[in-house]
Structure 1
Amino acid sequence: MRHQRMLVPVLALALVMLPAISARAQGGEVPRGPTFSARALQALIDGIQFGVIIAITSVGLSLIFGTIHLINFAHGEFVTIGATFAFFLNVSAAGPGWHLIPAALAAVVFGALLGAAVDRGIWRPLRARGTGLINMFIVTIGLSLLLRHVVLVLYGTRPASYAQYDIQSTVDLGPAGITPRDLTVTLLAVLVLLGVAALLQKTRIGTAVRAVSANRDLAEASGIDVQRVVLFVWMLGAGLAALGGVFFGLVEIVTWDMGFKLLLLMFAGVILGGLGSAYGAMVGSLVIGIVAQMSTLWFPVDLQYAWALLVLIVVLLVRPQGILGRAERVG
């Protein structure tokens, strides 16, 4: 009996070693996984892609806070609405069956118009009545719940993907790889971010946005139409969020709560980069995306967002105003 009990671990070890022994007997080599450097490069590529998508969605969130100091909890729903609206035009049986590119452009326009409608219909009347920021923040939570469940009713709970660019072969980039779809999304996201930066730096409306963000009262006294600037910021932010939703749904999957799941990382990117700074939101989001993906080299995937938020805490302990934020005197 004792010999039988000793035989069990020996047989188990033999079963584990059998594939390796068989491979060597046939003159082959035991298959090995990718090296750590290859996995690190792949995680870096995935992190850059994830980071630029977060950056596109979070720029509007940062600009809105910079102009009217509103923490918009409903911003994630613009991401979801952009993704699901493009899905309706591209895939849904009730839709026109457009190709994804015109469907994505239409989703951006729809998101911008929705942002304008929300500002004109809700936030401008509340600002005119002198509603406090805390009360307006509570309104954003209610608006988020409303929009999310409207999407749930119209779209449903079943995850889905777009009709084009779903299954593609990987392009080798040395030891790492990326699909043409993911590479295109990353490059387009970078170009969009560069375009937003040029808009803020080189155009009159961009200068007005920066002036309102820096000092609203002084900007209004100098003749800038602050209400017009705020409306433009809402349209720009909602349009970018809708585009980010299409990109996120293209590389991942379209779900009814995808924007809400991404909202915490958007806030993290904005706070890490510096509240109210569009460039800070870009940099902070890129850091969050890279850290989230690189952490999977050592820790379970389920904890990748937790490590990104831990980096946020550490950076804020050293630099409370964020990476590109400006230090303000309190008291």
Structure 2
Amino acid sequence: MSATVSAAAGERQVRISRIAGRYLVFDIDDVIFIRRYHGVCAVLTGTMPQNPTQNLFLGLPVELQAEEAKLLVDKGVAYIADELADHLARLSSPAFEPARKAYREHLKHLRRNAQQAFEEEKARVAALHKDKRAAGKKRSKKPAVEGGEANPKVVTEGSVATASAETSSAPEETTPSLFGGEHDVPVPPSSSAQPKKKEPVLPAVTPTTSSPLTTTPPLSLSSGNDKTCSSFAARSYPLLAHLSARGYYTTPGLRFGGAFSVYPGDPFRYHAHYLANSYGWEEKVPLLDVVTSGRLGTAVKKSFLFGAEKKPQGGEGEGEVRVFCVEWAGM
């Protein structure tokens, strides 16, 4: 497993876009990579173009916590890019003209693929309706008089002449109903000229990433010592790194009242085992926090885990992380 992870890590560098103080990943392949090999699930925050009012299932990009972004950078599998500065530099520099052309070709390619899929779907639906109309015409040719009953379509001679004159002047149109060709609804012909045939509206193409424009590392590259990232991650990063090194998956634990929800594997397959909080080594842990978090974790079938890092002598290098687990057994 370790050889697989190291091989995968050497093949890919995840681009983490820093936008307005948020750490976002837009490429679905990067999202799969950090989840499968590094246990970083993050949170989907974007809406899909086809369903912009959704509020239950969200799409790309995924947003990482500052601790998660720093963890991936420290592992050497990701870099943080100042997205605004990088894109402006690329778009304004003549040296990146080939990259801009490649990006335009990429968008045209997506458009052609969408158009081809649209035309194939349109042809399939047209063939389906044609078969239904043919079946409906065959059923409509059956005799309408059975058992000596009068045909409801037989009317007086004058009305037949009037109807035939109307049909001869303007042919009747039919539109298929929702229930197929056998229930076609007659539509009276319009006296005005027939409207022009509308061109099919192609589906909108909204790329989720500008990777063809950013194939090379950004001009404004942030390292693991990114001040903004480090300041946000200073408190709980040691605990996250400690859990990640032991193969645990983590997600934001706010809905359970903690910093992280800790899973023994992918959250698609497991429930969380721990509700985790981080403290400073010299920080006093209020007894009320231990009681409330322990009871809350037990109520949602999780143990309350809290830990802290003991800094090494001299304050340099990695310290020792100690964790404790509390479970409310009863009263």
The TM-score with structure 1 as length reference comes to 0.20
Structure having greater relative contact order (Cα 8 Å, sep ≥ 6): 1
- The structure with the greater share of residues assigned to strand is 2
The TM-score with structure 2 as length reference comes to 0.20
Find the structure with the greater CA-based Rg. Answer: 2
